[in-house]
Every structure is written in C-alpha cells, then in structure tokens.
Amino acid sequence: MDFIDWCHHILGSLEKEKLKGYIHDYDMPKIVFSKDLIEQEDFHNSDALSGLNQTLRMLADGCLVDNHKESYWKISTLGRKVCADPINFWSEICSENLDNEEEILLKIVNKYSPQLSDSPMYGWLKTVERNDVCSAFKIKSPPFETDEQMNDFQKFVYELPNSLKQRELLEAFPGFDYSTNIYPTYKGLVWDLKRSSTFDSKFIDNLLRDWETTNVDFKRELKLDTKKQKAEFAKDVLGLATTKSSGKRYLIVGFNDKTREYHAPLDVNVTQDRMENVLSDLTDPVVSIRYEIIDYKKGKVGKLEIIREPEKLPYRAKKDVIIDEKGKKVWRKVKFMCDMVRIPNHLQNLS
C-alpha cells in the first residue's frame, strides 16, 4: 500500500455513501475506519484521525472531494470518475515533465512526509522542513557565510517549492526566520508513486485493443512444471522470435483467451531465470528475453519481451523429441527459418 492507495480507500468509502450527500466530520471515521479502531481510548488524539482530516483536505484541493462549510464532505463528480478508473486521469498528471531538481525535491517530499499504517490501514502527513531540503541538495542552512550560499538557499528552499506549488505538485508555506513547511499533494504523489504503473497500464490497454498480432501474443497463464508446458512455452517464444514483422515482440501473461479480460495473479514461481533455463535447453541459438511483472489496473501482469537478434538467425528447436507425461512424442526438431510467419501444424497441436 502507498499513500495514493490510502487516498482511494477514502474515496471508495465516500463513493459508497454518495446517496447520503455530505458527511459530517463526526461521521467520517465511521465510514472509513473499523469500529475497533474508533473505540480505542486515544482515537481522538491519534494519527489516524488527524491523517483522515489531512487527506480529506488534500483530496478537496485536488477537486476529488467536495467540502462544505469546512466540516462536511462528499465525493465530487471528478472523484467518482477517478475512483472508478484512475488511469486516464493519472496519465494526464504523469505526462508532465520535470527537470532533475524538480524531480529530486518532489521525491524528497513524497518520501519523508507520507506515513502509513497497514493494520489497521490509515495514513498521515509529516511536515518536510528546510533542513530536509538543505540536506538533500547539500546546501548550507542559515547563517550564511557567502552570497552564493544565500542564493542556493533561496532557490531550493523557496523558489523551487513555489514553482512546484504553482503546478499543484506540492504545497509550500514559507515561514519566519528562514523556515518553510512543505507537504505532498494528490497530484504530486500520483506523479511519483503511480507513474510507472500508469504507463504500464496504458501500454497493456493499447495492446489489448489490437489483441493478438504477429508481434504480440496473450496467455491466460504460464507454467513451466511439465515437459509439455516447457515445450509450449518454447514454441510460443520461437514463433514470436521468427516472425518477419518489425518492432518489439511481446508475450503478455494474465488475460483470458476468450473474454480478453484480466484473469488472475501470476505464478510467482515462473521467473526470468526459469524461462531462460527452458529456452537454453530447447532453442538453438538461445532466444534472449526480458521479463518483468508490471502493475495493471486490475492486478499483476507478466510482460515478456522476446528479443530477436539478427546475428543469431535462424532460430530452431534444439531437441529432436520431447516426451510428455504419457510418453507421447509431442515435438519433433524443426528448423525455424528467419522468414517464417506461421508455426508448423504439428507444433500447433501442442496448444
């Protein structure tokens, strides 16, 4: 869980109560927290309650929650859309470009400010102060010995936070005696915490629109326990490695072949090392791959990139025969020429 997940827990709680209109501060804990947490003796002075109030204000600043008379809350129209499917909204946020110094400051604030409890689930925010910023950028705190030191302090403690504040990527409140207080925003947290998963989800959605092509194959699941499973995997990889078309080649794991919907979490025992061992045993030359587990909006997805290396062509099956559990011959040695487009019929019978 990260702080955005905590934010969406609150959004989801408000979504369930949308027909009741505005919810008063007094009743908000009842729809967000468990009864056991609320009934704890020190709950009214707890990080859980203060964090709820902080997060509601953060969501209101991001227009995801409507606030009435400072004490009443309900999910906004935008909040309902984002709660149902955040990827499009997040994509717009994540498309913003930051320079190196802006990114460093944003990551500092998002690292040191958000605090989380997993059980029970709640979050709260700590202030990021000038010394945290000075330490990160290796600049001197007051008193200053040179004009250069003062200019650096002015830039990183005041000007840079204010620039990100104008873009709604953080909140900054300059104080007296060279002090400053900085906090995250929903938008800044999304840019930092959800950028990778947002781009991955958009990537998968784009592949799903075209479904299976000469360069992309989808599988519901991938297992490498039996000889037949290993042979099927090698067949799929060789098919993608030998296709004539240009561009990158992917095997995406985790989608139902018939419904094209997300199927289930991946088998964590299927790793890149295991795949490479299978390909080393069954392909010649060995097909190179790159495997990663990525976050999709409905769960984890396996993204296997098959790397076609022209200097290795032609790829072929390595062994003359593979025997399945019943002793049946399921794969005879076949040469996969570089200009092949379709898999031979007797290999298609593996599926």
State pLDDT tens for residues 228-267.
999 999 999 999 999 888 899 999 999 998 899 999 878 8
Structure token digits, residue 341: 């487009």
Check which CATH number belongs to the domain holding 212 and give it. 3.30.950
pTM value?
Answer: 0.81
Same-domain check for residues 155 and 235: no
Domain identity same for 283 and 309 = yes
CB within 8 Å of 23: residues ≥ 6 apart: 14, 17, 31, 72, 73, 74
Same domain, yes or no: 134 and 188: yes
Residues 340, 222, single domain; the answer is yes
Specify the pLDDT at position 320.
Answer: 59
Between CA 212 and CA 220, with CA 215 as vertex, the angle to 5 degrees is 45
Question: What's the pLDDT score for residue 223?
Answer: 94
pLDDT of residue 338: 39
Locate 246 and state its tokens.
Answer: 């240009």
DSSP β-ladder status, 216-219 and 249-253: parallel
Q: pLDDT of 165-192, one tens digit each?
A: 999 999 999 888 888 999 999 999 999 9
Do 177 and 214 reside in the same domain of the chain? no
Residues 6+ apart with CB under 8 A from 221: 253, 254, 263, 264, 266, 267
Q: Which domain does 123 fall in, by range?
A: 3-193
User: According to the model, what pLDDT value does residue 333 have?
Assistant: 57
The pLDDT value recorded for residue 330 is 59
Q: What pLDDT, on a 0 to 100 scale, did the predictor assign at position 325?
A: 58
End residue of a domain, out of 193, 223, 243: 193
Number of domains forming the structure of the chain = 2
Domain boundary among 161, 178, 193: 193
Are 210 and 216 in contact by the 8 Å Cβ rule? The answer is yes
Count of beta carbons in the 10 Å neighbourhood of residue 175: 10
Residue 148 and residue 15 share a domain: yes
**Residue 331 pLDDT:** 59
Q: In tens digits, what is the pLDDT along the chain, a chain of 351 residues?
A: 899 999 999 999 999 999 999 999 999 999 999 999 999 999 999 999 999 999 999 999 999 999 999 999 999 999 999 999 999 999 999 999 999 999 999 999 999 999 999 889 999 999 999 999 999 999 999 999 999 999 999 999 999 999 999 999 999 998 888 889 999 999 999 999 999 999 999 999 999 998 888 899 999 999 999 999 999 999 999 999 998 888 999 999 999 988 999 998 788 889 999 999 999 999 999 999 999 999 888 889 999 999 999 999 899 988 655 555 565 665 555 444 433 333 444 444 443
Which of 193, 223, 251 is the C-terminal boundary of a domain? 193
Q: Are residues 60 and 146 in the same domain?
A: yes
